[in-house]
A = this chain, B = another copy of it.
Amino acid sequence: MSTKKTSLKDIAQKAGVSTALVSYVLNGKEKESRVGHEIAQKIKQIAAELNYQPNHLAKSLRSGKTHTIGLIIADISNPFFANIARVVEDEAKHNGYTVIIGSSDENAGKSRDLLNVLINRQVDGFIIVSAENSEEQIHYLKEKNIPFVLLDRYFPEIPTDFVSTDHYKASYEACSHLIRNGYQRIGMIAYDSQMFHMQERIRGYKDSLRDNNRHFQKSWLKEVRINTIENGVKAAIDEMLAADRPVDAILFATYSLAINGLKYINELRLNVPADLAIVSFGQAEVFELYYCPITYLKQPIVLLGQTAVELLVKKLKNNLNEPAQILMKAELVERASSTAKPVVPT
C-alpha cells in the first residue's frame, strides 16, 4: 500500500495531459476515444509507478460491479457455519470475489439490517443461510432482482435458487440405521423451530419409524428452545429416561444439541451405547474425542459451499439459465455409539 493517495490529477500532471484523459484511459475507455496507444501506455505506466488506487466506491456506483459477495450466516459461533464460511471464502477468492460476512444470530431483524447494510455497500450478490421468519427478505431480494443463492436452508413455498443438504433423507437414514441395529424406542431431540430444515429432520425421523412399523410416541420427540438449550436438553433427556419404557437411542437434530446431550449423559454416567445409543447431525472433529466414537451425519460442507459460490457466480455473469435447486446427501458415518444391540433372549 502507498502511504499517500495518488489522484488522477497527480497522474495527469506527470504525464502532461488532462485529468479527463487520464480518467478516460484508466477506466478502460481508450478504444472509444481517439487517444493514441502510446499516450495510453504512458498514463498507465505512471499510474502504476505512483501506485494509483482507483476509488472503488465511486467506480462501483458507475459500473455496478464490486466483485464482492455478501455471506449472511445464521450463527457464526456454530462450527458448521464457520466452516462453511471458510469454504465460501476460498471458493469465492478462486473466482476473483471477496466475501464480506455478517451473522444474523438466527434473528430475522438482524438479518434484515445486515442485508440493508450490505446492499448499501454494493455487494454484487448474496449467499444466505436464512434465519427463521425472514421470508419477507427473500421476497424483497427477488423483487429488487438482487442475485442470491440460499445455502443449507430454504423456503419451499418461495421459488429460489438454493443448495442444501437433504435434511429429510439424512434424518430418515439415521433413524432407520438405529432400527436396523436393534434399537426399539428411538427418541429425537430437535429445536423448537418452524424452519423448514428442522421440520424436515423431524419428518424424516417420523417417516422412518412409520415405514419400519414402529409406533411413534409423542414423548419420544422433544423440541428444545435454542436460547435455553442447556437446561432444555437436560429436561428432555430426563423425561425420556423417566418413562415406563425409556428410549434406548437418541437422534440429535444438531451438533449443539448433541454436545449438550453428551455432556449430560456423561454426568448421568450412562454408558454409550449400552444404556443409550447416539446418532447426531454432525461435526466430526469433536465427536472423535468422545470415549465412544459418535455416529454422525456428515454434511457435505465443502460441496455445499463451493456449489453455492458456483451458482451465484453464474448468476452474476448471467449464465444461470434455469432455477437451480440442489439437494445434497449427508453421509451417515457409522461408529461405536450406535453399533448393533446384542440380542437379549426374552
Top 3 closest pairs, chain A to chain B, by CB: A56-B120, A101-B101, A82-B82
| Chain A residues within CB distance 8 Å of chain B | 1, 3-5, 53, 55-58, 60-61, 68, 75-79, 82-83, 85-86, 89-90, 93, 98-103, 105, 110, 112-114, 116-118, 120-122, 136-137, 140, 143-144, 259, 262-263, 266, 285-291
- Residue from B76, B105, B118, B291 in contact with A76 in the complex, judged by beta carbons closer than 8 Å: B76
Q: Oligomeric state, in number of copies?
A: 2
Asked whether, in the complex, the Cβ of A114 is within 8 Å of the Cβ of B101, the reply is no
- Residue from B105, B136, B289 in contact with A289 in the complex, judged by beta carbons closer than 8 Å: B289
The residue on B at minimum CB distance from A86 is: B77
> Given the complex, which residues of B lie within 8 Å of A137, measured CB to CB?
1
The residue on B at minimum CB distance from A292 is: B291
Alpha-carbon distance A90/B103, docked complex (angstroms): 10
- Residue from B98, B117, B286 in contact with A117 in the complex, judged by beta carbons closer than 8 Å: B98
> Given the complex, which residues of B lie within 8 Å of A122, measured CB to CB?
57, 121
How distant is A206 from chain B, measured CB to nearest CB, in Å?
29
> Given the complex, which residues of B lie within 8 Å of A75, measured CB to CB?
86
- Residue from B93, B117, B286 in contact with A110 in the complex, judged by beta carbons closer than 8 Å: B93
The residue on B at minimum CB distance from A283 is: B286
Asked whether, in the complex, the Cβ of B99 is within 8 Å of the Cβ of A100, the reply is no
Asked whether, in the complex, the Cβ of A113 is within 8 Å of the Cβ of B98, the reply is yes
Whether A101 touches B102, Cβ cut-off 8 Å, given contacts A288-B263, A289-B259, is: yes
> Given the complex, which residues of B lie within 8 Å of A1, measured CB to CB?
112, 116, 136-137, 140
How distant is A107 from chain B, measured CB to nearest CB, in Å?
10
How distant is A16 from chain B, measured CB to nearest CB, in Å?
29
The residue on B at minimum CB distance from A301 is: B77
Alpha-carbon distance A103/B99, docked complex (angstroms): 9
> Given the complex, which residues of B lie within 8 Å of A90, measured CB to CB?
105
The residue on B at minimum CB distance from A1 is: B140
> Given the complex, which residues of B lie within 8 Å of A55, measured CB to CB?
120
